Amino acid sequence: MMVAVVLLMLSANHHDLDLADIERLSTGARDVGSQVVAEHPALRGAVVLATCNRFELYLDAGDDGSVLETAPAVAAAHRVVARASGTDPAEVARLMRTTAGEQAVAHLFEVTAGLDAMVVGEREITGQVRRALATARAEGLTSPLLEQTLQHAARTSRQVAVETDLARAGRSVVSVALDLAGARLAALGCERDDATRAHESAADSVPPSSWAGRRTLLLGTGSYAGASLAALRRRGATDVVVWSASGRAEGFAAGHGIETADADLAVALGRADLVVTCRGTGTPVLDVATVAAAVADRAEPLVIVDLALHHDVEPAVAELPGVLLVDLPTVRAHAPQTTADEVERARAIVADGVRALSGATAERQMDAAVVALRAKVSDALTAELDRLPAEGAVPADRAAQALRRLAARLLHEPTVRARSAGREGRTAEHLQALEVALGLHIPSPDSDLDPGAAPADDAPAGAARQDDAPAGAVRQDDASAGAVAADVVPPG
């Protein structure tokens, strides 16, 4: 079963690539959607999903039927990503996996439900998909297909969260990173290698003393900053301050009930035990010189959590004495495993959601037929109403006559086509169509034929055949019941 119109997906994600490759490809992601549509105007819309571990394009490729037929759109997307990221188009084509139709829909649903995440079951991705759709909508890049597909994916994700234990486990990139940071805070005073031992348990296994009394410096004010703050509070952190180069720290602090950090970043670093950075602007905010100065006179190591795909912390900072860095590769290496039963249950819910969307999409293709049918009936009704007096009551016989004429108009063309089907040997096909469209169950004429009955052509001489009735005439014996002869044609 395939969706009726083509959703095209190009993906670079943590399953297939190193995070460095994803980071490189997603450079300039903000403008890729509009540029792809401009590059290939046959595309009806584009949504760009760029997170800490994936870069994906979802494109409405219209009514093409396969990946082969959408090759020009794929090539256009490769060219745009290549220009934005400074990568050779052939390299982009090699790195980005392409799927179309129901496979692309299924992938999007699994992504939105957190089943394709670095930390299986995470909920942040659902909000990221929702924001990606909102961004595309604001830029005029959505289409009915993209709107319906992404909204349905979000609804299915909520169903997974409610009906399985994946979301209740509180798994996310943020939570795993903070679990690792908590373990390092608890291990301060130990050798650095001991502090980087494997993450084995949930956050509540980290002693509250690891967080209580420790100052956390939050760098950034975006959605990940809010998620990080909430996760810190769940772990017992009470001393959290925020710093932002954009000037939005005051607004974020006021909205979340925390304080702003010292405007001098070096001073703020010197006062912090833990730094959580999640800006992702593409330019590191913590370079080697800044961090080295901040830890020069410290007695304890500084724990830094970098949640940005485009590093907020220069990689060389990890080599500084007195610094313990938790970044996305660290999270990837320590992501907790999930139970197979819960994952299978979630995948079953996703599969049901994909089937429901496929059916809904197929239904929408009949909209034009339904509109045309209703318009035809409405036109016939209007024509009969125009024949009635404009004012005053309509006598019952006049009303009945008008209704019979309306029925005659509506039945004329189906009658003609039914007889044409019989002449052309398509009786069974036509009867099946009537049953599907109108719910009529009509036995095959062959099964009810009475060998002893006289054929219609053997009627007594002079008898009027029904076929000879005047156009638009109503059979007299049926008039009282309002029945319309099968042969009537619309009155003039």
CB-CB neighbours of 352 under 10 Å = 13
The residues near 266 (Cβ < 8 Å, ≥ 6 apart) are 290, 293, 294
The residues near 218 (Cβ < 8 Å, ≥ 6 apart) are 225, 228, 229, 240, 241, 242, 243, 258, 276, 277, 278
Assign 3-class secondary structure to 334-379: HCCCCCHHHHHHHHHHHHHHHHHHHHHHHHHCCHHHHHHHHHHHHH
Residue with tokens 């982009």: 92
Residue type, 101: G
Q: φ and ψ at 302, to 5 degrees?
A: -100, 125
| Nearest residue to 490 via CA among 416, 406, 372, 398 | 406
Give me the sign of the Cα torsion angle 378, 380, 383, 384: negative
Q: Give the CA count within 13 Å in the CB-facing half-sphere of 266.
A: 9
Contact between 317 and 291 under an 8 Å Cβ cutoff? The reply is yes
Q: φ and ψ at 169, to 5 degrees?
A: -75, -10
Residues 474 and 469: their CA atoms lie apart, in Å, by 8
CA separation (Å) from 66 to 37, 44, 58, 361, 391? 19, 16, 15, 17, 59
Residues 370 and 376: their CA atoms lie apart, in Å, by 10
The catalytic position among 3, 17, 22, 52 is: 52
Q: Which residues fall in the annotated binding site for NADP(+)?
A: 220-225
Contact between 303 and 326 under an 8 Å Cβ cutoff? The reply is yes
Question: Would residue 190 show up in a list of annotated catalytic residues for this protein?
Answer: no
Active-site residues, by number, are 52
